[in-house]
Amino acid sequence: MTQTSIGLSRRALLGAFAATAMTAAPTFASAAGFLRGAGDIRRIRMYSGRTGERIDMVYWIEGKYIKDALKEVNHFMRDWRTDDVKGMDIRTIDIMAAAHNLMDANEPYMLLSGYRSPKTNAMLRSRSGGVARNSLHLKGQAADLRLGSRSVSQMAKAAIACRAGGVGKYSRSNFVHMDCGAVRSWGG
């Protein structure tokens, strides 16, 4: 994918400020602006308790997404129940990376759910009223994440500060949902 295909022009990225303070308030096009404070790279670090896999991947350098790195991220974020892989929306990956940077966390995210196949989503819906019929997980546009060193509230505040998509707090289940859909927040 190119920056243009996701609605980000080079000009928008260059115009994004390098602030990494929680008080900054970028628009979605500038959620990636939080990432510029780390140099001209974007990195995602995660592990999966379900598969035992780990990923520590630089996926963007100096204005360009790295195709092979994104393929690895897509595979990592697959539906672990069915092994189905879908291209994750890079806006979601950028939100995850930006929020991680804002929290100044050293540990990787624990990925609970990335892409969900229709079969998995239907199964989860049958077990819980909290699973949306048209979940953004089905489109590869959402992730459910946990950090041992940060509370659900801290994670949600960092993701909300990106002003880039949806943020759901699931305190009872100890995770935060991040997506690249409309800017909104919910949960407790």
Sequence-distant (≥ 6) Cβ neighbours of residue 18 within 8 angstroms: 33, 36, 37
Give the amino acid at 85: V
Q: Report the pLDDT value the prediction gives residue 35, as an integer from 0 to 100.
A: 52
What is the CB neighbour count within 10 angstroms for residue 47? 17
pLDDT of the residue at 32: 54
Residue of 143 and 2 predicted with greater confidence: 143
User: pTM for this structure?
Assistant: 0.79
* Contact between residue 18 and residue 5 where contact means Cβ atoms under 8 Å apart: no
Cα–Cα distances (Å) from 132 to 9, 27, 124, in that order, read 32, 26, 9
Measure CA of the first residue to CA of the last residue in the chain; give whole Å.
Answer: 35
31 pLDDT band, cuts 50/70/90, is low
Domain count, the chain: 1
pLDDT in the model for residue 18:
30
Nearest alpha-carbon partner for 40 in 12, 23, 59: 59
* CB distance 65 to 56 below 8 Å: no
Measured distance CA(185)–CA(188) in Å, rounded: 10
> Which CATH number fits the domain that encloses residue 92?
3.30.1380.10
Per-residue model confidence (pLDDT) at position 129? 73
Q: How confident is the model over 115-132, as a mean pLDDT?
A: 87
* Residue-number span of the structural domain to which 89 is assigned: 4-187
Share of the chain above pLDDT 90, in %: 69
Taking residue 49's Cβ as centre, other Cβ atoms within 10 Å add up to: 11
d(C-alpha 76, C-alpha 62), whole Å: 24
Whole-angstrom distance, CA of residue 13 vs CA of residue 121: 34
Mean pLDDT of 132-139: 90
